[in-house]
Amino acid sequence: MKLLSTYLKEMKIAFRGFYFYIEVVMAAIILIILLVAVKESPVSKEKEFLFYDMDEEIVDTFFKKAFEDGTMVRVDPVDFDVKAQEIEITDKETGETKTKVFEKETITADAIEVYNPDTGELDKTMFITDTEEDMIRLAYSEKTIGAKIWLDDSYKSHYVYYTQGYETERMQSLLYILHNDDIKVLNDTADSLTVRKLGDVEVLNNRQNLVPPFIVLMGSMMGYFIVIAYIYLDKGEGVIKAFAVSPSAVWKYLLSKAFVIMTTVTFSSSVITIPVMGLQPNYLLFYVLLWISTFAFAALGLFIASFFDNMTKAFGILFGGMMVMMLPALSYFIPSFDPVWMRYVPTYPLMQGFKEIMMINGDAKYVLTQCGIFLVGGIIVFLLANVRFKKTLTV
Amino acid sequence: MISVKNLSHLYNKEGKPAVNNISFEVEKGETFGFLGPSGAGKSTTQGVLTGLLKLQKGEVNVAGYDVSHVQNKRFNKIGVSFEQSNVYGKLTAKENLEFYAKLFDVETRDAQELIDLVGLSGKENVRAGEFSKGMKHRLTFARSMINNPELWFLDEPTTGLDPAIAATIKDIINAQKAKGTTAFLTTHNMYIADELCDRVAFIIDGEIKLIDTPKNLKLKYGQKLVDVEYLEGGKTKKETFKTIDEADRNKLAEVIKKHDIQTMHTKEATLEEIFIQVTGRGLV
């Protein structure tokens, strides 16, 4: 009863304060951006820089069929203005490193647009350079992968990839596997394989794909921030002292704060998710993960708030914490940047968890595992916050 | 109702104790004044008694509870009125009191009755954030009575209030006293202490210098004087006579007999004067 009345009082204060409306307005802005500014299908900006070390006629035979069926279209050559560069190139197999220095110049590359045969959408644009050095310079400048392709005397294809150096081992291994043998052998092998589609697994469209990171941002991150703000508002008004001399337990005060955040986040996350995702997600799982993760992050906010007297003193760790928590968004949007340590940042599995929920036939087991981890972690941090607040409630 | 033995409290391990080895007792139904200037250790002592500060050294028993073992239910018997008003600015006066009432396990007073009692009638539905400092203070004071406390901590209950409101607050304290409420009053206002307290303790630099009733203190430390203004040769003259001095008594009798008396007042020492006399320090 005391918990309920404390929660209702907190909700009343939240409705009369501006943090609640900041959260809702933010959610509305994000929704408008998603619906208006983000197209469902991505406009491909993917680029590949290739150097075919072979006669042009042979190159044309590579693409002949694709040109005929329209999945590849040769477009006007493109001029790239490349500034002066010093590029360090390391051979992964030998470990040998050499440095090349280039002057500023304009490089012209033939351009071929590649279209998805099923959707007709532009998948990527291939740029074919005249020299290997041009390919290296453009790949370096555009921060993407370049490749040199040539044929030996038996017309066997060979590939040399130029990567940026920060790609994951997994991605590099993939390149090895892809070209571990003669292209002919690979094709023969492929022909003998039967490819099966796994159920109705579908990827999220471009707009839907943005929902999980925004939910994490609006839910966990804002919850973490706002709960700290609420605590310092109470400290500023001194009401925390009045609570301390009442017969109600500290944990009820703290839990009521977490519940307010969970209520606010439920509202703001629904504002974003329901219009964009419709009925596709498993909403039961969605709200379970949302509530548990928000509780865990609110507990973290409470724990941090217990160490400082005011917002100014807490700001450093508050801001630093938010920055770290946002890093997994990089891996989410750039899969090739996926260092192992990143997976230990709590928002990493959280984004993946929400993504699974958004997908048809997503991995419910993974989501429930995350729920369990966040629940246990949240309870532990909440208990620690409770111990800290008992000591410092009146400071 | 309150028993304190050898209480000491340090804010910094290497610093001077804010409270140093103090002992006192407060009887049930008594109004006990804890008097001293800013920084004397009043608030620290009250902080320990109310559980806002952790007991570091000594034995403290409040309303039957040992404060070294934190038990929230003890606050069902206790009311605390803070010097700095601390109410929810975004809640109305009535909402503030109604919410606080729900935190107690005992029967509580009606919010509107308390609002009327402290002179905030008509303001019950106004958010406390819009209140003046004095109004907030009255609301904080009213909140401290919500649970009909057996033991009432009052920290500077009339500070910042205009004389009329201060008089109302004093009346409320006296009314509660008549009902048998024990009050622990912390103040640097000696006039309030004189009017309200059964006993007072003088605390300075963390140490209690004396504990006694205001009446005894005046008898012990005050001088018995009479101020007289009378007419002599068409002019007003003013003289002070010591009633314990025979020559002064005779002179006073002669003045009364021979002259037209304009004003005559007996003069007792104030608690403030006694405080200065005992501690050698003022109250600011």
Domain around A123: 47-185
Q: What does the block give as tokens for B133?
A: 């400092």
| Interface residue of B85, B88, B131 to substitute, partner A, most A CBs within 10 Å | B88
Give the pLDDT confidence score for residue A314 in this predicted structure.
83
Residue B24, pLDDT above cutoff 60: yes
Q: Is B276 a domain residue?
A: no
Domain around B259: 223-267
Q: Is B38 a domain residue?
A: yes
Among the residues of chain A, which ranges form H helices?
2-16, 19-32, 56-69, 132-142, 169-178, 183-192, 206-209, 211-216, 222-237, 239-244, 250-277, 283-305, 311-326, 328-333, 347-358, 364-392
Residues B198 and B115 in one domain: yes
Q: Find the closest chain B residue to A250 by CA distance.
A: B72
Q: Which residues of B touch A (CB under 8 A)?
A: 47, 50-54, 70, 72-76, 78, 80, 82, 84-91, 95, 99-100, 102-105, 127, 140, 143
Residues A381 and A261 in one domain: yes
Residues A11 and A87 in one domain: no
Residues A57 and A33 in one domain: no
Q: Mean per-residue pLDDT for B238-253?
A: 87
**Interatomic CA distance for residues B99 and A5, integer angstroms:** 7
Residues B77 and B188 in one domain: yes
Task: Give pLDDT tens digits along chain A (395 positions).
Answer: 788 888 888 888 888 888 888 888 888 999 998 888 887 766 556 788 999 888 877 887 778 878 888 888 888 888 988 888 888 888 877 888 888 888 888 899 999 988 887 777 788 888 999 998 899 889 888 888 888 888 888 878 888 888 877 766 666 666 776 665 444 433 443 344 343 444 444 567 778 888 999 999 888 888 888 888 888 888 888 888 888 888 888 889 899 999 999 999 999 999 999 998 888 888 999 999 999 999 999 999 999 988 887 888 888 888 888 888 888 888 888 777 778 888 889 999 999 999 999 887 778 899 999 999 999 999 999 999 988 887 776 54
Whole-number mean pLDDT of chain B?
Answer: 88
Q: Mean per-residue pLDDT for B233-255?
A: 87
pTM higher than 0.80, yes or no? no
User: Residues of B with CB below 8 A from A12's CB?
Assistant: 90-91, 95
Residues B66 and B131 in one domain: yes
**Interatomic CA distance for residues B52 and B48, integer angstroms:** 6
Q: What distances in angstroms separate CA A276 from CA A206, A211, B190, one per listed residue?
A: 11, 8, 69
Please count the structural domains in chain B.
2
**Interatomic CA distance for residues A34 and A38, integer angstroms:** 5
The answer to whether A362 and A212 have CB atoms below 8 angstroms apart is no
Q: What percent of chain B has pLDDT over 90?
A: 39
Q: Kindly determine whether residue A9 and residue B52, on different chains, have CB atoms separated by under 8 Å.
A: no
Give the pLDDT confidence score for residue A170 in this predicted structure.
67
- Could you tell me the maximum CA-CA distance found in chain B, to the nearest angstrom? 74
Q: Mean per-residue pLDDT for B139-150?
A: 93
Residue B144, pLDDT above cutoff 60: yes
Q: Is B284 a domain residue?
A: no
Q: Is A195 a domain residue?
A: no
Higher pLDDT, A199 or B135: B135
Residue B105, pLDDT above cutoff 70: yes
Residues A224 and A117 in one domain: no
Tell me the CATH number at B54.
3.40.50.300
**Interatomic CA distance for residues A393 and A385, integer angstroms:** 11
Give the pLDDT confidence score for residue A195 in this predicted structure.
39
The answer to whether B131 and B95 have CB atoms below 8 angstroms apart is no
Confidence class for position B130, pLDDT limits 50, 70, 90? very high
Chain A with chain B: Cβ pairs closer than 8 A: 72
Give the pLDDT confidence score for residue A177 in this predicted structure.
67
Give the pLDDT confidence score for residue A312 in this predicted structure.
82
Give the pLDDT confidence score for residue A198 in this predicted structure.
41
Please count the structural domains in chain A.
2
Residues B120 and B260 in one domain: no
Q: Mean per-residue pLDDT for B90-114?
A: 92
| Interface residue of B74, B102, B130, B133 to substitute, partner A, most A CBs within 10 Å | B102
Q: Is A335 a domain residue?
A: yes
**Interatomic CA distance for residues A92 and A149, integer angstroms:** 17
Give the pLDDT confidence score for residue A341 in this predicted structure.
86
pLDDT, one tens digit per residue, over B202-223 is 998 888 988 989 888 887 777 7
Residues A219 and A247 in one domain: yes
Residues A62 and A31 in one domain: no
Q: What is the ipTM of this complex?
A: 0.80
User: Residues of B with CB below 8 A from A392's CB?
Assistant: none
User: If we measure between CA atoms, which residue out of A249, A239, A2 comes closest to residue B73?
Assistant: A249
Minimal Cβ distance to B89: which of A237, A248, A391: A237
Confidence class for position B271, pLDDT limits 50, 70, 90? confident
Q: Is B189 a domain residue?
A: yes
The answer to whether B158 and B141 have CB atoms below 8 angstroms apart is no
